[in-house]
Amino acid sequence: MTIISKNADGSITVGEAKGLNGEVHVPGDKSISHRAVMLGSITDGTTRIKNFLEGEDNLSTINAFRQMGVVITEDGGDLVVTGYGMDSLKEPDDVIDVRNSGTTARLLTGLFSAQPFFSVITGDASLRKRPMARVVKPLCLMGAQINGRDDDRLLPLAIKGGKLKGIKYNSPVASAQLKSAILLAGLYAEGETVVKEPAKSRDHTELMLKAFGADIKVEGLRITITSKKKLKGLSTILVPGDISSAAFFMVGAMITPLSELSLKGRDVTSGVGVNPTRMGIVTILEKMVGSGPIASGLIKRSDNVVPDNDRGLWYEPMSTINVTSADCYLKGVDISEEELLPAIDEFPIICIAAAFAKGRTVISGAGELRVKESDRIAVMAESLRAVGVTCKEKEDGIIIEGSGGKSIKGGTIDSHGDHRIAMAFAIAGLRAKDGITIKNPECADVSFPGFYDLLESIAQ
């Protein structure tokens, strides 16, 4: 069945489907893929990365480290990073353009602050509008010299690295990127570097640093890292499927009748990542079902997936996630800041779930999303209205009146170059009477290359 048509202007139109059925092999986790390349580049030895996400953002990270002399190759579908130690990075001979990758920009700012060379980081037009001040401030307190546009708030950033001193920093927000930038700088700094968060953000950096042998200690919301001369190598990192990518198909199956999906990792050895700091999307969908889909059979997790031969492998918890369509309406709910934090990247697809729920959904605490790839709150509100959904924008979130399980009208939306907006409305198109036309759909390649082909292949 063909549900996706390509239009002459480059847009696509996604039409109604009866259901989604089959196995979905979810691409590797974007956050873990970034960090595997970064830490593999400063260890002494070779790190093989299986299921690396070859999205545009992660390719920006690869290109950056190649500019610093790191040898990164492909072998049998794996990415192989050869590092020569913590002090082996070379001064780049040109500006490092990370394009649209905020993760690359912010984490590199932390790493570059401790390097004995000069560097300049820039990005595309969208990234150059996104705030960097939260990262710059603590790094300067550690002794870094960082200059940028708008009083050091915006890219490009010019960084003169050097010797840093550890600090104790109370982070104003729960941000994995901010925390990670400080920890990477702290890896080189004199003495202890302590970061305390107001709430728990995703912890991939802490877990991987510990696996690489860093002197790091996590006590609740307090993370302490002490400088070390050398990191130990990890022979192989197995990247799980990205639950943020799986979320699109979870919601797609729940809102589309006659659906039954099995979500797995990219290959037979892996599952979808189920790191506890990333499970907010499952918690929210459970709440929207009411009785809880794990109990009623809508979403089922298998036991943790363990590869047949895990000797020498490092990996985070993984599961196969099975999803079937709801035999009752999703219900509108209130989603608080605390509930949204571990599902912040899933905001667009949560809005789509709310659009088909019975009743009103109120999402709060999403103010950070106004400075993502797009102003996600404003763009979601504008786009939902364009396809026939009643909603109201709030300063820190959105109020959505659901359709009660009925199909919506459909229409045309602009992704604004935001990959998660594009994919969310592709899922909404499965239940749109007139279909949904998406302008600039190619931005999905940032995190999910091949998304539309995969969606087409499982639609009926």
| Residues labelled catalytic | 345
* Alpha carbons 70 and 63: distance in angstroms, whole number: 9
Q: In 3D, which of 395, 353, 348, 334 has the Cα closest to residue 370?
A: 395
* Four-residue CA torsion sign, 441, 442, 447, 449: positive
Q: Which residue has the tokens 């800041």?
A: 337
Reading phi first (left if > 0) and then psi (alpha if -120 to 50, else beta), residue 34 is in alpha
Residue 458, number of CB atoms within 10 A of its CB = 19
Query: How long a stretch of residues is the chain?
Result: 460
Nearest to 188 by CA among 110, 120, 136, 133: 110
For 158-276, where are the alpha helices, taking DSSP H only? 176-186, 204-211, 243-255
The contacts of residue 366 (CB under 8 Å, 6+ apart) are 337, 340, 344, 347, 376, 377, 396, 397, 398
* DSSP β-bridge partners for residue 217: 224
Residues 273 and 264: beta-carbon distance below 8 Å? no
Which of 269, 207, 206 lies closest to 238, judged by CA? 269
CB contact at 8 A, 203 and 211: no
- Which pair of tokens denotes residue 201? 């953000």
